[in-house]
Structure 1
Amino acid sequence: MYNKICMISYDFSMRGVYLLTFLSVAMFGGSYLAGSVPFAFSMSEHRMRLASIFGAGLLVGTALSVIIPEGVESLYNSITGFFLFDHCIISVNSRTIDLNDKMHGHDGNHSVIHKSVGLSLVVGFIFMLLIDQATRIVTSTGGEKSRYKLTATVGLIVHAAADGVALGSVSMASRSNVQFIIFLAIMLHKAPAAFGLVSFLLVEGFERFRVRRHLLAFSLAAPITAIVTFYILLLVGQQSSSLSFTTGILMLFSGGTFLYVATVHILPELLNSNSHSHHQLNQGEIIGNLSVVHSVFTVKELLAIIVGAILPAFLASHHSH
């Protein structure tokens, strides 16, 4: 019986590895191709702006309707759904006696989970806030231009790494529909970011081969972090009973980072883009690819945000039935 359960668990893990590998390769290729566009020709800034706005809506919808619910469910599964035993995931139904022995501690466990949900979201939000502010401070006070350009790249790499944590943690749950939703949300804001980064570096006079190095580092950040996160969770799952709990914490942390990037970083920068000129791009403009002068969102842009926010909830509910 245990051997059969072990094989099922191993099969789920391998399927997660294969899909994660495919999505990571696609994520790298998509980011690198989007960043390579400025080398050949300039795209319509209006279309890039619309893609950034849609991507921001998608990030909000993914965080609120996919990542956070999945993270909460994973946390509760850590105490009511599954136990890790002898390196296998075993159903609670087969360990009724052990579960009854632990029932008196469930109220305390639920209290811990309630606190963990909010704390994980806040930590993720604050983490991106600190990274964003540190990047801006160094950018505004740094003397050398090369350091300024490097800081812009490092800031984007950290953003991308946080995206990789989200994809890697949800891959451990072996839910392909959720993986695809998060992948779509990541790509729809990574592509404009890659395009904006390369455009910014070229305008600042960086040599093309050095720009490609920056683009390569940015494109690799999320895939590598996703794979590393997955294998760390796999290692944790093989050593203790905290796999579901750790996965849930990371998903909620990622939800906090998604909410920050969308609501504090991308959308406000897009709204305030009328205060910047085409040749004076800053870190925020790289993220959102801002160079078109707008003070309010148009009807089309509002629809893009709304559709982007609703789409993840629709896809998640559609695939869950």
Structure 2
Amino acid sequence: MDNFYLLLYLSVAMFIGSFVAGLVPLAFNMSEGRTRLLSTFGAGLLVGTALSVIVPEGVEALYIVHTEKYLPGAVQNKDRNQIISNSLIQPVASNLAAKINYPTYFGNSVVGKGVVEQMQQSPVMDKKETDEYRHSEASVNFNAINQSIGYSLVFGFLFMFLIDQISKYLSSKDGDRTHLKLTATVGLVVHAAADGVAFGSASATNRAGVQFIVFLAIMLHKAPAAFGLVSFLLVEGIERFRIRRHLIIFSVAAPVAAMVTYYLIVVVENDKSSTDSATGTLMLFSAGTFLYVATVHILPELLGSNVKDYQLVNSATEGSSRGYSESRASLKLIELISVIVGAISPIF
């Protein structure tokens, strides 16, 4: 329950932070150079968080499920606790039963005799059976886990790729500027919801350190995104009260998605092994989305633009079709350092 309250507080902070960042362009102009610097640090932090925090935590969650389900000495269709108890108690019980006198220790009780006799007859796996289990069941399931790790990362990456391409298609389908404005908001809202899924799944691990790192990584990405969205809508001439509506929808997307994800993982799914498995899969999925956002959205956009024409919201309205090979610009030294510092920050 404490973990839920921490998630609630951080979700409220995420909403407030995004909303306040979006209000900045409505109040005064912020230096585009500082926005670029913040974005480069956020991109590095996203990559570092995905590779050094989310991926290891997701992999660990999946392997915990495996080791709990397939402990050495476990056999199919038998209760693990019963097997462990029998394996530990049966040899001792056999020794005692050979030495003790039933009437002395249990009287003439039928129940007393039955207990010892049952303990004597309890099945115990020998070393050969245990070794056979380890080489058959365990190895097969380790291979399945390895595959699920790759699938989750790839699907997370492809999920954001499809969102990016659909947004690009809708924005270029016609020249309707109103449609373009809506596409910009929808694209960023969907992406914010994906960030919320990542945050919610990270919160389900019951590790506050992971929660704070993911929260920081998302906020460093969402704040410039909110700033860019509002700046774009202002340039398009939308009324300020409508801009605030767009901003509220964008700001609330990630917190709501985080709460729903946490609820589905922890509250609805009561089985711990299923919860750990779902948590691990979602964390790896979110790592794939983080890698896409950082390496395909933010960094190419920064490399392919200069300070004057830089707009963070371009990733939602035009897609990220420009790659590294087409980039004519390069990061400044301070921006390069910012990316590196952001990438290695989650390690410490």
TM-score (norm 2): 0.77
* Residue in structure 2 matched with residue 258 of structure 1 by the alignment: 290
Q: Shift in Å at residue 97 of structure 1?
A: 6.2
Q: Does the 8 Å CA contact 1:193/1:286 hold for their aligned counterparts?
A: no
Paired residue for 2:260? 228
Cα 1:134–1:160 change in 2 (3 A) is: same
Contact residue 187 and residue 317 of structure 2 kept, 8 A = no
Q: How far off its partner does 1:242 sit?
A: 1.0
Query: Residue 155 of structure 1 corresponds to which residue in structure 2?
Result: 187
Aligned to 1:319: none
Residues 296 and 235 from structure 1, CA distance in 2 versus in 1: closer, same or farther, beyond 3 angstroms?
Answer: same
Q: Quote the residue 2:119 is aligned against.
A: none
Q: d(CA) in 2 for partners of 1:207 and 1:105?
A: 63
Q: 2:323 — aligned with what?
A: none
> Deviation digits for residues 91-125 of structure 1, max 9, x if unmatched?
x7787369989755222211110000011000000
Indicate if the aligned counterparts of 1:266 and 1:284 stay in contact, CA closer than 8 A. Answer: no
What one-letter code is carried by the residue in structure 2 that aligns with 1:47?
R
Name which of 17, 29, 50 aligns with 2:37: 50
1:62 to 4, 24, 49: 49
Larger Rg computed on CA atoms: 2
Structure 1 residue 277, shift from structure 2 partner: 3.9
Per-residue CA deviations over 1:270-290 (Å, capped at 9, x if unaligned) read: 1111498479973458999xx
Deviations 1:153-205 (A, max 9, x none): 11101111111111101111110011000000000010000000000001000
Counterpart-to-counterpart distance in 2, 1:232 and 1:280? 32
Q: Which amino acid aligns with 1:146?
A: T
Query: Conserved in 1, the CA contact under 8 Å of 2:44 and 2:294?
Result: yes
CA offsets 1:224-270 (integer angstroms, 9 cap, x no match): 00000000001453157411111000000000000000001100011
Q: State the one-letter code of the partner of 2:208.
A: S
- For residue 238 of structure 1, give the secondary structure of its aligned residue in structure 2: coil
What's the counterpart of residue 223 of structure 2? 191
Q: Is the 8 A contact 1:116 1:249 kept in 2?
A: yes
2-side partners of 1:48 and 1:287: how far apart?
19
**Residues in 2 aligned to 1:250 and 1:166: alpha-carbon distance in whole angstroms:** 7
Distance 1:239 1:147, change over 3 A: same
Q: Distance in 2 between matches of 1:183 and 1:73?
A: 20
Structure 2 alignment gaps of length 5 or more:
71-79, 88-124, 321-326
Unaligned runs of 5+ in 1: 1-13, 84-91, 315-321
More displaced, 227-236 or 74-83? 74-83
- In structure 1, the residue matched to 2:115 is none
- Which amino acid is 1:180 matched to? F
- The CA deviation at 1:51 is 0.1
CA distance in 2, matches of 1:107, 1:96: 21
1:71 aligns with 2:58: yes
Distance (Å, rounded) in 1 between the aligned partners of 2:171 and 2:62 = 39
Alpha-carbon distance between aligned partners in 2 of 1:214 and 1:98, rounded to the nearest angstrom: 63
Partner of 2:331: 297
Report if the CA contact (8 A) 1:197-1:286 is conserved.
no
**Structure 2 residue identity aligned to 1:63:** A
Distance 1:97 1:108 in 2: 26
Other-structure match for 1:37: 24
Return the alpha-carbon distance in structure 2 between the equivalents of residues 98 and 57 of structure 1: 52
Compared with structure 1, are the counterparts of its residues 59 and 279 closer, same or farther at alpha carbon in structure 2 (3 Å cutoff)? closer
Instruction: Please state how far the C-alpha of 1:82 moved relative to its aligned partner.
Output: 7.2
Q: Which amino acid aligns with 1:173?
A: T
- Residue 142 of structure 1 deviates from its aligned partner by 2.9
Superposed displacement of residue 313, structure 1: 1.1
Deviation by residue 1:36-70 (Cα, 9 ceiling, x = unmatched)? 00111001111011000000000000000000000
> For the structure 1 residues 43 and 274, does the alpha-carbon distance in structure 2 shift closer, same or farther, using more than 3 Å as the test?
closer
Change (3 A) 1:94 1:192: farther
CA shift in 2, pair 1:154/1:147, >3 Å: same
Is the alpha carbon distance of 1:205 and 1:58 closer, same or farther for their aligned partners in structure 2, counting shifts above 3 Å? Answer: same
2:213 is aligned to: 181
Quick one: which amino acid aligns to residue 148 of structure 1? L
Question: Which residue of 1 is the match for residue 110 of structure 2?
Answer: none
Distance in 2 (alpha carbons) for counterparts of 1:303 and 1:268: 16
1:202 aligns with 2:238: no
Residues 180 and 317, structure 2, Cα contact 8 Å, conserved in 1: no
Q: RMSD value over aligned CA atoms?
A: 2.8
Identity among equivalent pairs (%): 58
Residue 311 (structure 1) aligns with: 345
Contact 1:74-1:247 at 8 Å conserved across structures: yes
Deviation at 1:143, TM superposition (A): 3.3
